[in-house]
Amino acid sequence: MVKFVENELQAIKDEVNEMWKLVYQQLADACKAVLEIDIDLVDKVVAREKRVNAFELKIDSDIEDFIALYNPVAVDLRFALAMLKINNNLERIGDYADSIARLVIRTNLKPESKELFKKLKLQEMFDSVLKMLRNTYDALQKQDISLAKAVFEDDEVLDIINREALDTIADYAREHTDEIKLCLDVAAMFRKLERAGDHINNLSEETIFYIDAEVLKHCKTILHSDEENNNSTEANN
């Protein structure tokens, strides 16, 4: 019985690892497609989106079957629950990658757009998101809690780039009123990257939950709120 459980757990882990690599490739290709305005690469990302969705459904089904058949407890149950949520978050990141890639077609990007991307630090935004996704994967493989928690700090970098980019886009729109649609689409892309960062945070939280049974959901929000309240009180004093 123990051997069967171990085999099932390893099979689920292998599937999640494959899903992770697939989503990472989707996001990396989407980023490259935007920066290089590569239509062929966009087509590849869009074509693979169906594979991401199908893979999510299979992994969900396999995990549900494992829980129903083996009634796992303790660390095995934590693993199953964490993988279920990780799988769902990966699928959402895959959705963002697909949507970002489609921007190239939807907005009819031109070579001149690259100058705007440079002002917005788009390459830095892409690099930060991909780094977070790599690090969360490594944290799970190595069962490294400190590496998983380091991702939360990287997410703050994303938030800063996103805020600065939105201000720059607003200024650009005022100066180039004929490119309002481009500005709106690019702003939406930054929002999707920022949301992808949030989902990568969730991957780290679930990794930590599996390794150490520590629940971090909502904790960072509460801490940030307390810090803001303290800063506000100090300012008023």
Cα 87 from Cα 56, distance rounded (Å): 6
Pair 77, 10: CB distance under 8 Å: no
For residue 169, being part of any structural domain is answered with yes
For residue 83, being part of any structural domain is answered with yes
* Number of structural domains found in the chain: 1
For residue 150, being part of any structural domain is answered with yes
Query: Per the structure block, which two tokens stand in for 214?
Result: 């520590």
pLDDT of residue 210: 95
Residues spanned by the domain of 213: 2-223
For residue 90, being part of any structural domain is answered with yes
For residue 237, being part of any structural domain is answered with no
Q: What is the CATH number of the domain that holds 122?
A: 1.20.58.220
**pLDDT tens-digit readout, 4-48:** 899 999 999 999 999 999 999 999 999 999 999 999 999 999 999
For residue 48, being part of any structural domain is answered with yes
**pLDDT tens-digit readout, 98-149:** 999 999 888 877 787 888 899 999 999 999 999 999 999 999 999 999 999 9
**The one-letter amino acid at 21:** K
For the whole model, what pTM was predicted?
Answer: 0.88
For residue 236, being part of any structural domain is answered with no
